[in-house]
Amino acid sequence: MSESVLTHARYGKDFIRVFRVVRGSEFHHIVEYNVSVMLEGDIESSYTVADNSVVVATDSMKNITYYLAKTSPHILSPERFALHLGTYIVSKYAHIHRAIITIEKLRWSRIALGANDQPHPHSFIRDGDDKHTVEVEVDASAGKDNLSAKVTSGIADLLVLKTAGSAFYGYIRDEHTTLMEVDDRILSTSVDLAYTFAPLSLSPPSDAKKLDFTIPEGFAPGSVWDADNVVARARNATLDIFALDDSASVQATLFKMGQRVIAENAGVVSVTYKLPNKHYIPVNMNYIGIDNTTPANAEVFVPTSAPSGLISATISRK
Ligand SMILES: O=c1[nH]c(=O)c2[nH]c(=O)[nH]c2[nH]1
């Protein structure tokens, strides 16, 4: 026993499901989040000598999440809410030095009705399976008056497909090659992207309840405080490039996506894409004298879930 030592400890509550409505005079606004709260600090004794006096119960972390969902003016932005929640926790508990908050924001879009797409004040539709993802680390290890944060946001499970404008040829051909070179093919991927903002420092709460959380005035477009617009631009850029790029490969198209995200968002320092290549294989009908394999005549495909290619890269600001 004495030859072992605790080298890392982190605990918290995962899968905290929360829905919030903000009732404006004309329009209601809603968010649905899956939140995870993980804490680090002077908590070793809870592991090593069964000392629960240092434990903020994970049940309390769940309650704090709901309390802030009710009281925080930042609830509608997952980045700001995560920063507020992390700041609250590290400010309230002297021995907690780091809070790692992750949020998955599910899609709810306002229903538009009638010929002129009139936005409905309080009805919404789940118009996609993709999620806005956020990971915030609020760090108080340099002191409770010296808070800093790292924010990585992104999009997961954005499923797309195009039926033209994607070639793949010129790759290594040797005794292991069976793939046909094509000047056109089906291209489909489930986009996963995550971008990291420049590190930021945070003001500690000034009120006794530790609830006060301020964001700077006049923040720069593309900064972490502009995160709702950043994710909208990243989604648009991704869909734009996917549709419009005359793709030579997933690799080349991915790089263009990353370049756009960096160019359009001044506060983003790097972006990582993970693009599975979800292969659609043309059915060979040569046995019955029908051409379904040359790109121009390929119309019937087998969608395959496995194996898939997996193309990933990180594009960083110079
Ligand atoms: O865009 C692609 N990149 C690859 O690396 C690859 N490999 C493969 O078999 N098909 C594809 N497509």
Cα dihedral 46, 49, 53, 56, rounded to 10, equals 10
Q: Are 112 and 176 members of one domain?
A: no
Is there a binding annotation on residue 168? yes
Same domain (yes/no): 162, 139: no
Q: Which of 131, 132, 278, 279 is catalytic?
A: 279
pLDDT score for 50: 98
Asked whether residue 278 is domain-assigned, the answer is yes
Is 272 among the catalytic positions? no
Mean pLDDT of 55-76: 98
Active site residue 278: no
Whether 275 lines ligand 1, by a CB cut-off of 6 Å, is no
Answer whether residue 1 shows pLDDT above 80: no
Are 112 and 165 within one domain?
no
Same-domain pairing of 33 and 85: yes
Same domain as 314, residue 168: yes
For residue 171, pLDDT beyond 90: yes
- DSSP β-bridge partners for residue 152: 135, 196
Same domain as 110, residue 180: no
Q: Is the CB of 309 under 6 A from ligand 1?
A: yes
In a domain, 130, yes or no: yes
Structural domain range at position 4: 1-144
Same domain, 134 and 252: no
> Does residue 257 fall inside a structural domain?
yes
* Pairwise CA distance, residues 194 & 155, whole Å: 7
Look at residue 275 in the predicted model and tell me its pLDDT.
Answer: 98
Which pTM was predicted? 0.95
Ligand 1 atom nearest to CA at 247: 1
**Per-residue pLDDT at 305:** 84
Three-state DSSP at 307 gives: coil
Q: Does pLDDT of 216 surpass 90?
A: no
Residue 98 sits in the same domain as residue 10: yes
In this structure, the answer to whether residues 191 and 238 fall within a common structural domain is: yes
Query: Residue 237 phi/psi, 5° resolution?
Result: -60, -40
Which of 144, 167, 183 terminates a domain? The answer is: 144
Instruction: Report yes or no on 151 lying in a domain.
Output: no
- The mean pLDDT of 102-119, rounded to a whole number, is 97
- Examine the domain organization and report whether 133 and 270 are in the same domain: no
pLDDT in tens, 275-314: 999 999 999 999 999 999 999 999 999 999 899 999 999 9
Please tell me whether residues 100 and 164 are part of one structural domain: no
In the chain, helix, strand, coil percent, each to 5?
25, 35, 40
Residues 71-90 have pLDDT tens digits of 999 999 999 999 999 999 99
Query: What is the domain-level CATH number for residue 45?
Result: 3.10.270.10
Residue 55 annotated in ligand binding: no
Average pLDDT over residues 51-71: 98
Structure confidence at residue 156 (pLDDT): 98
Residue 304 lies in a domain: yes
Number of domains in the chain: 2
Hey, which of 168, 247, 278 would you mutate to test ligand 1's pocket, going by the most ligand atoms within 8 Å of its Cβ? Answer: 168
264 belongs to a structural domain = yes
Q: Give the H/E segment covering residue 259.
A: helix 250-264
Q: What is the arithmetic mean of pLDDT over 238-264? A: 98
Structure ipTM: 0.98
Same domain, 171 and 127: no
The verdict on residue 207 lying in a domain is no
